[in-house]
Structure 1
Amino acid sequence: MSGADRSGERQAWHAQGWTLPHFPVRVPVPDLTPFLAGNVLPGVWSFAAPLPGPHVAVVALIHGNEIAGAAVLARWLHAGLRPECGRLSLIFANLAAFARFDPRDPIQSRYVDEDMNRVWARQVLEGPRRSEELRRARELLPLLLQVDVLLDLHSTLWPSAPLVLCGETARARSLALALGTPRDVVADGGHPEGRRLLEHARFADPDGKARALLAEGGQHWEPGTDTVLEQTATRLLTLCGQLPAPARPPPRGVAWQVTRRVVPRRRDFAFLRPFRGGDVIARRNTLIALDGEDEIRTPHDDCLLVLPGQAALPGQTAVRLARRVTA
């Protein structure tokens, strides 16, 4: 699979005759030059403490244009952050896509050949398919198979309140709720297009012990998104004993379970208004979108809108709907 014709999302929209709006980059692009070599792999830094403890990994740049997480890791490396116990690995994942980042058209550098957060099924990793993202995933995999706790730092194209995705294991949900930041913890089954990193068997095996979370800190290129992600990552390290615990930890999070994934069938799919991720629709059966003549309504009261995209192509997830649950 060549990256020459598939350098980002915008081509998919152009193929459908649509145009995405321009999203200005309102934050500095982090300079990763000092960190590209890594100390165990390109773009991967790993530090062991003298005391025993878990192996924690914090991952940024699974998508090459989600620069907020990369800014967090760069600050930590500049500051010389080291764990008090166990091992801490800091991973800049998709360096090839990030190398293409251009603030004039930042959407284009999401990936080179394919979405790196859809390649983590065993049959894909061990199969014959080739792409830049699969090459890098295979390079990282031996290290990831040693990780006990993983946090994958992300951001969103469209406006959304921060949240944590915990997959489907009870142990990951418990960890996410203990973080307390972001407050909303969403359990979901992922995407039919492929497995995310947090769904790799290392972390998703019902009988396993390793845990993985995905944090969405806010919009990609807006001030404050990196701050949210840094707060989340710092809180994780304190829970794992790798940093001192704060005097007043945040309150426990709120648990949600995805009940429906809305996938448009037609090009004229449209929300009735520009919903924001994190909006809660109070009443069941509230009309929120039209897919041609089909009405999309909330399936239950207090329905959380998870990462709605204000424009969605047929076959792509437009929004996930979630119900609050007692954890």
Structure 2
Amino acid sequence: MIIDSIAYPIEIEFPDIIPYKVCNTGVDWITTLDSGVAGPHVMISALVHGNEPCGAVALDWLFKQEVRPVRGKLSLAFMNVAAYNAFDRENPTASRYLDQDFNRVWQSESLDDPEVTRELERAREVRPIVETVDLLLDIHSMQHKNPPLMLAGIQPKGRALARQVADPEWVVCDAGHAEGQRLRDYGGFSASNSKKTALLLETGQHWEAASAPRAIANAIRFLRTTECVSVDFGEDFLVKQPQPVPQRTIEIIAPVTVQSEQFRFAEEFHGMEIIERKGTVIAMDGDTAVKTPHDNCVLIMPNRRLQLGKTAVRLGKLVD
């Protein structure tokens, strides 16, 4: 069952990334720049989903600025390029992935399994590099027009890094999806006993014009926060962008996973709706009512492509 009733205009020009295919890492589409000075390995990744171009815009901008780390290493990674190359303006949601969601395969059970899909093959190819990364910013966008979100995971270290980046306004703390683990949750990124940390940025609607500069601005702020670049890197760009506002945090209380072919929302939610009363029915999953677990429940990223086993929506609680 797939419901995809809203057609958003494509306002972003998809960059030509062919110049970035042949790299210095031995893995196509991932370039690593080494400062020669001790420091963390920082990565910015894009195109985990093939129809989300804003991350590619940000990496293209960084390459054209000839970004160089002043300490540690910096990797710029285009992930599911095959899906990106399959993008069709007449069916723009179809190239999110080719065989399976690239952002649900990041658990050892999948990566070490003999199963072969195009997404798994690519994940296995980039895995050795990802495992050396200390600090990750994974750039995404959303199905609906919503305020940008920073997904920080459930560990305090993720929330702390999001606070240091200080943009966007909304920080979401969640454990991910029942369907499978995200790149930002892989390995040490989500482990309490590791200093590795990752953030997942949702810039806004996939193709709205504002998503592109948001991605660039956040990439700049992330690189500055990690001290990977000079303190004034990208200043000419940032002064022309909206300035950060005080952040607010949402903790995800319950992800809702589609259990039947008859899942239907009670109304057309776009995301960030606040449902005032506990027990409000927001959807029916077959004969089972999906109800809000508490007062003032925030709906995070309701899914327009409702499929068995996938996340329909995440239910959150404002904590500050």
Fold conserved (TM > 0.5)? Answer: yes
Matched with 2:17 is: 32
Q: Secondary structure at the match of 1:230?
A: helix
What stretches of structure 2 of length at least 5 have no aligned partner?
Answer: none
Secondary structure in structure 2 of the residue aligned to 1:185: strand
The one of 159, 163, 171 equivalent to 2:157 is 171
Aligned pair partner of 1:119 in 82, 105, 119: 105
User: Which runs of structure 2 are paired with 1:40-119 in the superposition (5 Å)?
Assistant: 40=25, 41-119=27-105
Indicate conservation of the 8 Å contact 2:148/2:203, yes or no: yes
Secondary structure, aligned partner of 2:33: strand
Q: What is the 5 A alignment of 1:148-159?
A: 148-159=134-145
2:303 is the alignment partner of 1:309: yes
| TM-fit CA distance, 1:277 | 2.0
Query: What is residue 296 of structure 1 aligned with on the other side?
Result: 290
2:253 and 2:4 map into 1 onto residues whose CA distance is 31
1:255 — aligned with what? 249
Measured against aligned partners, the alpha-carbon deviations of 1:234-284 in whole angstroms (never above 9, x if no partner) come to: 111111112344799845532221111223444443334332222323343
Query: In 1, are the aligned partners of 2:276 and 2:297 still within 8 Å (CA)?
Result: yes
What stretches of structure 1 of length at least 5 have no aligned partner?
1-11
Cα-to-partner distance string for 1:68-91 (whole Å, 9 max, x where unaligned) = 111110111122111222111100
What is the CA-CA distance between 1:310 and the residue it aligns to?
4.1
Q: Aligned equivalents of 1:204 and 1:255: distance in 2?
A: 18
How far has the Cα of 1:23 moved from its partner?
A: 4.1
Q: Which residue of 2 aligns with 1:9?
A: none
The answer on whether the counterparts of 1:285 and 1:298 sit within 8 Å (CA) in structure 2 is yes
When the two structures are superposed, what TM-score results if normalisation uses the length of structure 1? Answer: 0.87
Assess if the C-alpha contact under 8 Å between 2:170 and 2:249 holds in 1: yes
CA–CA separation in structure 2 for the residues paired with 1:54 and 1:264: 39
Offset of residue 295 of structure 1? 3.6
Tell me the alpha carbon deviations over residues 110-156 of structure 1, each in whole angstroms, 9 at most, x when there is no partner: 22221111111112212211111111111111111111100111111
CA displacement 1:130-186 (0-9 Å, x = unmatched): 111111111111111111100111111223221111122221121112222112111
Matched, 1:205 2:191: yes
- Root-mean-square deviation (CA, aligned residues, Å) is 2.3
Structure 1 residues 19 and 189: alpha-carbon distance in aligned structure 2, compared to 1, 3 A threshold: closer
Report if aligned partners of 1:271, 1:310 keep a CA contact under 8 Å in 2.
no
Distance, in Å, in 1 between the alignment partners of 2:77 and 2:315 is: 31
- Tell me the distance in 1 between the aligned counterparts of 2:115 and 2:287: 39
Change (3 A) 1:301 1:179: farther
Amino acid at match of 1:155: S
Larger relative contact order (CA 8 Å, sep ≥ 6): 2
Contact 1:161 1:277 in 2 (8 A): no
- Tell me the equivalent position of 1:8: none
Which residue identity is paired with 2:121? Answer: R
Distance 2:40 2:116 in 1: 33
Superposition pairs of residues 135-146 of structure 1, within 5 angstroms: 135-146=121-132
Question: Percent identity of the aligned residues?
Answer: 37
Q: 2:207 is matched with which residue?
A: 221
User: 1:194: which partner in 2?
Assistant: 180
Query: C-alpha displacement at 1:290, in angstroms?
Result: 3.7
Q: What is the deviation of 1:94?
A: 0.9
Q: Are 2:46 and 2:138, in contact at CA under 8 Å, matched by a contact in 1?
A: yes
Mapped partners of 2:57, 2:48: distance in 1? 13
